A = this chain, B = another copy of it.
Amino acid sequence: MKSNWNYSTLGIPDEMFIRAKVPMTKQEVRVVTLGKLRINSADTVIDIGAGTGSLSIEAGLAAKNGVVYAVERKEEAVSLIKKNIEHFGLSNIVTIKGEAPNCINQKLMVDKAIIGGSGGKIDEIFNWLDLHLKPQGRIVANTVTIENTYLLIQKLKEKGYEDIDITQIGIARGKSLSNLTMMIGQNPIYIISAAKGVRK
């Protein structure tokens, strides 16, 4: 069954995705993340550690004349991404099952990169970006730990990235309890974005 999402903004509600037990980036974090990425309609985008694919799906809607590569090592998650691609009727998302960056075609050049989960391979991923992210291309990463937040900032500085932006976002959502609105806190997320320096 197709979703009825046909809007020209980011912002697909979480419950419109086909979900499993895989944790999913929440709507508010998703729109801020993709807003920081600045997708152009013709962009080639890579989503490393795509998880449920919710970022890939919205990126695919934004890059409607481009293509999104969703890289994910877990079989269950890849299967879920494929279901969501079908659910949203998209034909510009390619799933790649495997360990990033080794599983990615060595000829691919991307305009934008999403780092959802690094699987502990930050060095390898940035070495790959050295060769495959176009100059002035942008990256965005979501981190939930202090250590990965720190390591990503250090790596971006070391690699000469520009326009480094660190935003922490804390969301609470109202839940109806009879006639009351109880605020339920989410985990705070760091959204780290940057543009590749011209010389790299």
Interface of A with B (CB < 8 Å)? 6-11, 27-28, 31-32, 34-41, 62-64, 144-150, 153, 157, 164-174, 176-177, 179-188
Q: What are 24 A-B contacts with C-beta separation under 8 Å?
A: A7-B40, A8-B40, A8-B41, A8-B63, A9-B34, A9-B37, A9-B38, A9-B39, A10-B10, A28-B169, A145-B177, A146-B166, A146-B174, A149-B150, A150-B150, A157-B179, A166-B174, A167-B173, A168-B173, A170-B170, A172-B187, A172-B188, A182-B187, A185-B186
Closest B residue to A39 using CB positions: B9
A167 to chain B, nearest CB (A): 5
Query: When the two chains form the complex, which single residue of B39, B145, B171, B186 contacts A181, counting CB atoms closer than 8 Å?
Result: B145
Q: Say yes or no: B35 contacts A9, CB within 8 Å.
A: yes
Q: Say yes or no: B40 contacts A145, CB within 8 Å.
A: no
Q: A147-B181, A168-B188 are in contact. List 15 more A-B contacts (CB 8 A).
A: A7-B62, A8-B40, A9-B35, A9-B37, A9-B62, A10-B34, A11-B37, A145-B177, A145-B180, A146-B150, A146-B166, A146-B174, A147-B153, A153-B181, A168-B171
